[in-house]
Amino acid sequence: MRLKSRSHFSSIILAAGISKRMYSKTPKILYKILGKPMIQFVTDTAKECGSSEIIVVVGKNFKEVQTVLGNGIKYAIQDPPLGTGDAAKKGIAIASNPHILILYGDVPLLKKDTIQMMIENHFNKGAHLSVLTCRVNNPTGYGRIVRDENRNFLKIVEHSDATDEELKINEINTGIYFGKREEIVRVLEKITPQNRQKEFYLTDIVHKLISERRKVIGFEIKNEEEILGVNTKFDLTRIREILKRNWFEELMKKGVYIEDPATTTIDLTVKIGKFVQIRPFTLIEGNTTINDNEIVGPFVWIKDGEKMVKGLKDPLKEK
């Protein structure tokens, strides 16, 4: 899908969070998933969906993030972290395009096609702000999307404020937004923090625009895998498995035979030729190229083209 010229937009990627639940000194957005830093999935998607400017909002992790992503993008610093609304404000302050897409550095599975369809729908409907929504199996903890009988967007109700009827709604707010820069900036200037932490949140701009009778619409998707975020190492493992499944499916459609996906890991950076057979208990990492017709494994570890482990003992045969 080619977006129209009217859709020139900047992507603001919020990545300044402290990540306390990861229990790690490494910022969660820099954790590698199949050889690729998490934040890079998001910046790549932003580029692929047509963003002409990418701004990553960082905190104390600025230097580490810049080392990974380089100088091809812009950086805005949020320190101290004062909520998603404040983070977006920092990013938008240095944005140069008339429209803004807000993404998250810890949501790596969102597809470019989804973003492009949301943006196209935004312009077709003449909206001031579009909210990406999703139907999920378990909406506990998420803000619910309340619509009228004609499916028009009415409001977002936080889980703690929802009535019994509203709690039955399984369409949730993903926190991903697209809208006019001037509208978002104007509303952000009017919002004040309403909690002890003096933080304010992006949902506040939705509520404010609705109160002003601006056109806010929801663009609904049904694949909840796309909007999964990483808060813990368990979440990281779950997302890794989804990416691995999709990656292996792509490889096997091209003729690669992976005998045992459960015991095999192949980085996304690996290049594999035609008619390759990958045997069980094989790990292939980094900048490695596997030529056509090769058989790799079993019990082998290859990193950056070099065999790290020539052969591991089969534990079942040791007994």
Examine the pLDDT at 316 and tell me if it is beyond 70: no
Q: Give the pLDDT confidence of 197-207 residue by residue, as tens digits.
A: 677 788 889 98
The token pair that represents 219 in the structure block: 């663009």
Label each residue of the chain as H, E or C: CCCCHHHCEEEEEECCCCCHHHCCCCCHHHCEECCEEHHHHHHHHHHHCCCCEEEEEECCCHHHHHHHHCCCCEEEECCCCCCHHHHHHHHHCCCCCCEEEEEECCCCCCCHHHHHHHHHHHHHHCCCEEEEEEECCCCCCCCEEEECCCCCEEEEECHHHCCHHHHCCCEEEEEEEEEEHHHHHHHHHHCCCCCCCCCCCCHHHHHHHHHCCCCEEEEEECCHHHHCCCCCHHHHHHHHHHHHHHHHHHHHHCCCEECCHHHEEECCCCEECCCCEECCCEEEECCCEECCCCEECCCEEEECCEEEECCCCCCCCCC
Q: Give the pLDDT confidence of 136-150 residue by residue, as tens digits.
A: 999 998 999 999 999
Show the domains of the chain with their CATH numbers: 5-227 (3.90.550.10), 254-309 (2.160.10.10)
Place of tokens 């139907």: 135
Examine the pLDDT at 308 and tell me if it is beyond 90: no
Q: Give the pLDDT confidence of 71-117 residue by residue, as tens digits.
A: 889 999 998 888 889 999 999 999 999 999 999 999 999 999 999 99
End-to-end CA distance of the chain: 58
pTM of the predicted model as reported, rounded to 2 decimal places: 0.90
pLDDT band of 194, cuts 50, 70, 90: low
Question: Percent of the chain beyond pLDDT 90?
Answer: 74
Examine the pLDDT at 256 and tell me if it is beyond 90: yes
pLDDT value at residue 319: 43
Question: Percent of the chain beyond pLDDT 70?
Answer: 92
pLDDT band of 4, cuts 50, 70, 90: low
The rounded mean pLDDT for the chain is 90
Active site (annotated) includes residue 213 = no
Find the range with the poorest average confidence among 44-48, 158-162, 247-251, 305-309: 305-309
The active-site residue, picked from 21, 147, 214, 279, is 21
